Amino acid sequence: MYHHPCIAHTLNLTVSEVLKCSEELIALLKKCRSLVGHFKHSVHGTNKLKEVQQQLNMPVLKVIQDVPTRWNSCYIMLQRLFDIKDALSVTVTNLSATIAFLGSDDWILLKECLAILKPAFDLTNIFSAEKYVTMSMIIPLIRGLQVTLKNVSVQTPTGEILKVRLLEAVHRRLDSFGNPENANNTEKWVINEVHAIYSKKQNELQNENGNSNLEEPASNNNNNIDNLNTADNLWSHFDQKAAEMNSHASSSTIPTITVKQYLQMPLLERKNDPLQFWSTHQNTFPELNELACKYLCVPSTSVPSEKSFF
């Protein structure tokens, strides 16, 4: 079994890696950071931007500086620049200071970057939650990320490079989640864990029955009982073999049947709580319910625990 690190951290590393894939993209990000830095350090520029936004009846929004240690911050910076593009254009024109503004080609590339990076941004936010189960979402949403990226339409060569490199990075870092062989191995591991839980319960039950038999009072001796005891002795070999066969069949087949029955059930509605499902079906699948409580409580990211230290 492979221990996978925080999914959100992996996505952040993936995006950070591909943002350095071309000189054109690096140049665009440098321009954006320079533009944001000017308004961050200029009270006059910030006030002028606010004034223009009010005159255009636009929401008053400030620029946002990206921070390497903050996940998704580059996307958030680019998105904010695109949201206030018109107000920025007017503001920069009216400022006395010379500012390296974005050209038309820059804005086209910026828009394509947003379209390419948004699926990873959305995915990080979904995985970073703490009010619902996230572990069971990883596999389908990683595959969904790959399909969504393939369908993103781009026009510029740099946008195409970013798209291809991001797909390659996702495949390299996260494609193991969609491997059919891994899915088959996981089913085997689940069956083995169910088998272990089931066998433990059977052994405990046998021990309880054995102790209860020892505590039973001796029956009154009579001829019928003596005859029955004699017959029991004659049947003891058969009873032992039957018990062994039944025990072997149960311990090996019941876990497999249990998992197969569960896998054949209809999918749970996407917005439904998996823990509520297992609370309802804990008597139907007691061993699987135990595994669900064991694994579904594991968060897919370290974000919720890290928030405790902020």
The domain segmentation of the chain, as residue ranges, is: 7-177, 179-201+247-310
Q: What is the pLDDT of residue 307?
A: 75
Each residue's pLDDT tens digit in the chain (310 positions)?
778 889 999 999 999 999 999 999 999 999 999 999 999 999 999 999 999 999 999 999 999 999 887 878 999 999 999 999 999 999 998 887 777 789 999 999 999 999 999 999 999 999 998 889 999 899 899 999 999 999 999 999 999 999 999 999 999 998 877 778 888 888 999 999 999 998 888 888 878 776 665 555 555 555 555 555 555 666 666 666 666 655 555 566 888 999 999 999 999 898 899 999 999 999 999 999 999 999 998 999 988 888 777 6
Helix/strand/coil for 295: helix
Task: Tell me how crowded residue 87 is: count the other CB atoms within 10 A of its CB.
Answer: 22
Q: Residues 16, 68: contact at Cβ < 8 Å?
A: yes
Query: In the prediction, which pLDDT does 73 show?
Result: 92
Helices (H) and strands (E) in the chain, counts: 13, 0
First to last CA, the chain: 32
**pLDDT of res. 310:** 61
- Return the pLDDT at 112: 97
Question: Distance between alpha carbon 229 and the CA centroid of its chain, in Å?
Answer: 61
> Quick one: which of 292, 306, 303 has its CA closest to 136?
292
pLDDT of residue 201: 85
The reported pLDDT for the residue numbered 230 is 55
pLDDT of residue 142: 93
Of the candidates 297, 300, 295, 298, the one whose C-alpha atom is nearest the C-alpha of residue 194 is 295
CB within 8 A of 302, min separation 6: which ones?
Answer: 6, 8, 9
Other residues' Cβ atoms within 10 Å of the Cβ of residue 219: 9
Mean pLDDT score of the chain, rounded to an integer?
86
Q: How far apart are CA 220 and CA 224, in angstroms?
A: 10
Kindly report each contact of residues 274-283 with a partner whose C-beta sits within 8 Å and lies 24 or more positions away, as own/partner: 274/133, 274/136, 275/133
Cα–Cα dist 291/294, whole Å: 5
* pLDDT at residue 50 in the model: 95
